[in-house]
Amino acid sequence: MTLPQHLVPSLDGVGVGSAVVVEGDEAHHAVVVRRLRVGERLLLADGLGRVATGEVSATTKRSFTALVTEVRDEPEPRPRVTVVQALPKGDRGELAVEVLTEIGAARIVPWAAARSVAVWKGERAAKSHAKWQATAREAAKQARRAWHPTVPPLATTDDVTALVGAADVAIVLHEDATEPIGALALPDDGELVVIVGPEGGLTEEEVATFVGRGAVAVRLGAEVLRTSTAGVAAVAAVLARTSRWGGLTS
């Protein structure tokens, strides 16, 4: 069974034999909720590619210490995938973040699309953004990711257009598109952007704006997926055709 992972602020300077002290909510959950005990082995990650294997040497209710037995540095997976996720209603935003993190997205960008039912403003925006960040953090630990995804603040359509312009390949999921996602030529490196619209769909103006900046409108199939699951289906279809999942490059 894969060892449990815990996130630490930094693993700089940590080597075999180092003692790493984990404190705060991370340690409290491990010791009190998971009942972590002395002698257990675990993984410590900084979310930036460094992962240490350690053995617990001491615990308190708000901290634990692990003696490091192995350290490895993993390169960031390529190509890097950014998913622009239009705000869903209810708790479907957290679901989208969870599955996108598990599948390997490097960045999950919340987007206020024209037809988004949910609205992030003021205090609600801060709380919702923090919830997305926490969901990504926990999902990354569950998935044992060495590189944890980033969740930037709420993006506007202009922000998304800029992401499209900077990408090596950008795709817009659109049920009326004629191009199947499997027909795209994909690089085995670089920056990929996937845009997922809201429950009410993308407007013609949004699609035209993104396509005009270089994106390709694609369809996943005959079925119409929910906004909370369309992104993970698209990323899976993309990664299956790259070396990240052992596929062949186009």
- Strand arrangement of the beta sheet that strand 107-111 belongs to: 107-111, 80-86, 191-196, 169-173, 216-219, 179-180
Q: Is 66 helix (H, G, I), strand (E, B) or coil?
A: strand
Q: Give residue 213's pLDDT.
A: 97
Q: What CATH number is attached to the domain comprising 99?
A: 3.40.1280.10
Residue 129 and residue 193 in one domain: yes
Residue 17 and residue 101 in one domain: no
Residue 250's pLDDT band (cuts 50, 70, 90): very low
- Tokens 């609205």 locate to 119
Does the pLDDT value for residue 212 go beyond 80? yes
- Beta strands 50-60 and 63-73, pairing class: antiparallel
Mean pLDDT on 231-235: 96
Q: Domain tally for the chain?
A: 2
Residue 249's pLDDT band (cuts 50, 70, 90): very low
Q: Give residue 246's pLDDT.
A: 75
Give the whole-angstrom CA distance, residue 127 versus residue 123: 6
Domain that holds residue 43: 5-73
Average pLDDT, the chain: 94
Does the pLDDT value for residue 91 go beyond 50? yes
Residue 152 and residue 100 in one domain: yes
List the structure tokens of 60.
């308190």
Residue 28 and residue 149 in one domain: no
Q: What CATH number is attached to the domain comprising 58?
A: 2.40.240.20
Listed residues 42, 57, 73: the one ending a domain: 73
In-domain check, residue 250:
no
Residue 247's pLDDT band (cuts 50, 70, 90): low
Does the pLDDT value for residue 96 go beyond 70? yes
Q: Give residue 58's pLDDT.
A: 96
Type of residue numbered 171: I
Mean pLDDT on 168-197: 92
In-domain check, residue 133:
yes
Q: Give residue 187's pLDDT.
A: 83
Q: Are 39 and 69 in contact (CB under 8 A)?
A: no
Does the pLDDT value for residue 11 go beyond 70? yes
